[in-house]
Structure formats: C-alpha cells, structure tokens
Structure 1
Amino acid sequence: MSESEKPKVYYVRGPDALTSHGRNSYTEWYVEMAGGTLVTKDSKEEMMTKPTMEDILKWNPDVIFMGRVNNTKLILNDPKWSNVKAVKDNRVYVNPDGVAVWDYGSEGVLLLEFIAKTLHPDLFKDLDMNKEVKEYYSKFYHYNLTDDEANRILKHLPPVS
C-alpha cells in the first residue's frame, strides 16, 4: 500500500482535543504498523504535541482515535470540527480501555490490532477483537473475561459493580 493510500489518522491524547501524540510516540508506531499515517508524525515535539485547529483542517484526517478521552462528543459536538473528513464520515472512535490505557500499557498490542481492524476492516474481517481481548487477559493476567467484560473493555466502559 502506497503512502497516499494509507488513511490519515489524528490521535487525541487528551485531556483536550488538541493534545496529541506526535513524533516518536508509541501511537505513531501503532498507526504505521496498522497501515495508517499519523498526521502529527512530523511534529517538532517528540511524544506530545499541541496542533492548532488550522493544522487539523489542513491535515483533514480520515480517522480520529480518542486516546485517553472517553468521549467522542469532545469533537463531534464542536462545530469547529464539522468539516473534518473523519467527523463527516463518522469515523471518530474511543479507544478501548482495560487494566491500563492501551496507548502506553502492556495492552498496546491490542491497540495495534484495534487500530488495524478499524482502519482496514476488509483486510481484517477474521480478526475478532472480543476473542483477542479474552485470550490476552487469560494468558497474561490469568483472568477469564466474560463476553460482556470483553465488550465493556472494547467500548471503554467501566466494569459492572
């Protein structure tokens, strides 16, 4: 896949919509390995960066991932974002969240899979994220998740008390 064919990705690190991961961040590597291009990859700052709304409009990302922000409304309800391709195409996603945030924790391998499946659903039709999460938890945490628990993790929902 050529660079021009790869989806352009903006990653919201939070706490606000204009705080992102940039050059040399785990997120840059996850997005690249998943077949996308992180729009902040050429930022001057390593790891964390603060693009402007003008930058976002210029990049016009195809997909937006909400990292440590469990709220797509931060972008979807803000009229400044309404002309961004990812918003128009309803491709704004909240990252799953399990034992730790997936963009810096051991569950990063799951984030890579989640990003790949989200960016290229046709290439990863057989990738069952519910199954992947359950297998990961069983192998590394010695805990057998129920389907509901795995679904809650994938939807960034808290455990049921």
Structure 2
Amino acid sequence: MKKLVKLFVKILAIFVLVLPLAGCGNRNTSKNSQIRETTKTITDQAGDKVQVPRKIKRVAVVGSVWPLPSVLAVFFNSANKIVTMPEPSMVAAKNNLLSELYPGILKAKTSFNDGVDINTEELKKVKPDVVFYGAENTKMGKQLKDAGFTAVGVSVGKWHGNTIKTLNNWIKLLSKVFPKSDKAKIVANYSDQVYTRVQKRVKNISLEKQQKIFFLRQYNSTEILTGGVDSFAQYWANAIGAKNVVNIPHSNNLTRVNMEQIYKWNPDKILITNFNTAQPEDLYHNTVGNYDWGKVNAIKNKQAYKMPMGMYRSYTPGVDTPITLLWLAKTVYPEQFKDINIIDETKTYYKKVFNINLTTQQANKIFTPTAASWQSNEVL
C-alpha cells in the first residue's frame, strides 16, 4: 500500500511540473499563430526578409526613391495611405498631374524628409506601418530598423538603368506587400508589349542612321549634368535604337560635362529632363549662363525637346515609363512612329492598367510640362 502511495505522489509531482510547461508551449504556439495572422514575411530588394503587417494603413517613403510616392498613388488609385514622402517628390507632385488626380498627396509631411537623410524621431510622429527606403542605402536601412520601423528596401540601381525592369519589379514588390492591389502581371505585360512594339520598328535601323542623342539631366549657369554609359539615358537610347553620345567609361546618371565635349559629340537631338527648369527655347536662345549651343546640330535644326512630366519626372523609372518609351521613340524617329497617337496611347494605358480615366486635356498636360526642377547630387 505504501508503495502505491509513493508511486501516486511521484506521478502527481511530475504532472504538476509538466502542466505549466505544456501551458507555456500552448501560449507560445498561440502567440506565433497570432503573429502569422497579423504579419507576413517578404523579401525586399535589399535581399532582407521583412515581416510586414497584413493591414497597412500608413505608408512612409524616405531616402532617394523619389518616384515611389507617385507609383504608390497610382497603384492604389489613392494617396490616402502616404503620410510622408521626400521633398523632391513633393516638388514634382505640385508641378504635375499627380496632385491634380490625387490632391491628398499634398498633405504628406516633408519637413523632416529631404530625400537624402531622415529624422527618425520625426518619422515616429507620423506613425507609419511600413517605411520604404532606397535599398542601396544600407546605412539608412539599419537606422530605420534600429529605430523599430518596418523597413522595406526598394532598389533603384539593381537593374542597371533598365527603367522597364525597374518599374516591373517595383510593382511586383508592392503587390507582395499589398496583395489585394496586385498589379504585377498587368503592368509587366503592358510594359513588355510596348517594348516589343518599339523594337520591331527600330531593329533594322543601321548604325549609320541611328540618331545621336544627348540627355540634359541637370542644367544651370555653373554645370551641365547628363547620363553616361551606366545610366537611365543609356537604357533609353538602347531601347529606341539610338546612340547615347556620352561614351565616357564608368559614367552614371550624374556625369558632369562641358560644352567642348558636347560640340565634339554634336548630338542630333537633345532631351531635356524635368530635373532642370530649361525649355528648348533656353537652348535655342542661350538664356542660361554663358553657354553657346548654336554650334550643335540639334539646336541648329530645332531638335531639342522637353521630356514628359506625368506622375513624376519621366527620365527615371515610374508609372509613365511605357508611355515615355513610346514618346522617345516617336520623338527621335518620327517617320517610324508617325501612326502612333501618343495622347490616345496614354489614355489607353492608364485605363487598361490602372483603371484611371484621363481626359484628353490631362493627357496633353503630360507632354507640355512646366518647370519642376530639383537640383541635387542624388540620382533621382
């Protein structure tokens, strides 16, 4: 009998010890289950695995991914989620179609978000659920994570200036973060279709007949910046069967050049970006600084063009990229693309891909941009 009592006491003691551990295990399982229900894990374009909330109401964009706020607004067909964005993005928004379609974007905070650095204490005050930053800026990524933010890296340079691939991959990433708004397939399909259309028409242009083009990236009385061999300019030129005249080894999106070099290159056409306030007339009449453009063929033949300004500056990747490609092809090779009505193409693109109905007046506005410059040593 005593042996039975001792055995019973031992069993009871073991039960008392094990029960709390079982409860702890159940609590941990329950907690992990709750985390899985409220978050999901994605891989961002910095290569990091990030746990992002399944419900995201407040979005911040910081650092040098300046086109991203416009991409987000069109992606959602609303700017209501955007609580802060870089100041250069706001400058563009105030001067283009973005603020007309989505006036709410003008409410986004910019005072602590200069597009280069970020004040994390001020960022905390706008309470973002997720923060998008430039994936190449690992220092900023660490700064954001150390401050407790859910930070998602978005790459500008991973696709070596290929604006189509960059846009497609941005939309792919956003579709993972916001699966209910998934547009990855339709954007990629449309972009690739436009690229293929252009290639069919330019592939037979001989090297001798290829147009020599020069992108006037930034321009003022003290400097001229352009895009070199590792830049968006090079991609655009390749994509439309033209020659980017800037053949300086290792040159990028911010390559400083002088008039003597431009005289030597003697481009047939000049594309003026929206990172400067110049219009073609400023080159025709030499209104900026002491530059003399009159010796350049493009200016002699009145072949300078201001690039479109739709939702953002079209030199960079953005939602306007497929239309920018068509516009460039038609501008540089008007005969090969004389049947292309760029206004109709623009309205069709926005309706088909993003279900946005642009009026003819709004579409026209994209191709008659006002000045919206932002002088900076950052890429975008």
Report the TM-score, using the length of structure 1 for normalisation. Answer: 0.89
Q: 1:118 aligns with which of 309, 327, 331?
A: 331
Residue of structure 2 equivalent to 1:149: 362
> Equivalent residue for 2:293?
81
Offset at residue 148 of structure 1 (A) = 1.1
User: Which consecutive segments of 4 or more residues in structure 1 shift more than 6 A?
Assistant: none
* Cα separation, partners in 2 of 1:123 and 1:98, compared to 1, 3 Å: same
**How far apart in 2 are the matches of 1:72 and 1:122?**
21
| Rounded Cα–Cα distance in structure 2 between residues aligned with 1:101 and 1:59 | 25
Cα displacement (A) at 1:29: 1.1
- Paired AA for residue 218 in structure 2: G
The structure showing larger relative contact order (alpha-carbon pairs under 8 Å, at least 6 residues apart) is: 1
Structure 1 CA distance for aligned equivalents of residues 281 and 231 of structure 2: 25
Which entry has the higher C-alpha Rg, 1 or 2? 2
Indicate if the aligned counterparts of 1:66 and 1:95 stay in contact, CA closer than 8 A.
Answer: yes
Contact 1:102/1:110, CA 8 A, preserved across alignment:
no
| Whole-angstrom CA distance in 1 between matches of 2:249 and 2:298 | 20
Deviation of residue 43 (structure 1)?
A: 4.3
State the shift of 1:44 in Å. 3.5
State the identity %.
Answer: 28
Counterpart selection for 1:65 from 267, 271, 274: 271
How far residue 112 of structure 1 moved from its aligned partner, in angstroms, is 1.3
CA distance in 2 between partners of 1:136 and 1:37 (Å):
27
Partner of 1:108: 321
Q: For the residues of structure 2 that align with 1:143 and 1:106, how far apart are their CA atoms?
A: 12
- Classify 1:90/1:138 alpha carbon distance in 2 versus 1 (closer, same or farther; 3 Å): same
Whether 1:92 aligns to 2:298 is no
CA distance in 1 between counterparts of 2:294 and 2:249 reads 24
Shift of 1:2: 2.3
* Match status 1:138 vs 2:357: no
Unpaired runs of 5+ residues, structure 2, are 1-204, 372-380
For the residue of structure 1 that corresponds to 2:224, the secondary structure is: coil
Cα separation, 2, equivalents of 1:99 and 1:10: 23
SS in 2 for 1:50: strand
How much does 1:142 deviate?
A: 2.6
* Rounded Cα–Cα distance in structure 2 between residues aligned with 1:64 and 1:48: 16
How far apart are the structure 1 equivalents of 2:304 and 2:257?
A: 18
Match of residue 214 from structure 2 = 10
**Which position in structure 1 is the counterpart of 2:238?**
32
Worse overlay, 70-79 or 58-67: 70-79
Single out whichever of 105-114 and 147-156 deviates more from structure 2. Answer: 105-114
Ranges in structure 1 where 5+ consecutive residues have no aligned partner: none
Aligned to 2:252: 46
Give the Cα separation in 1 of the matches to 2:370 and 2:299.
22
Match of 2:270, SS state, is strand
Contact kept, 8 Å, 2:230 with 2:251, in 1: the verdict is no
**How big is each residue's C-alpha offset from its partner over 1:8-55, in whole Å with a ceiling of 9 and x where there is no partner?**
001011143721111121221112211210111434422221111100
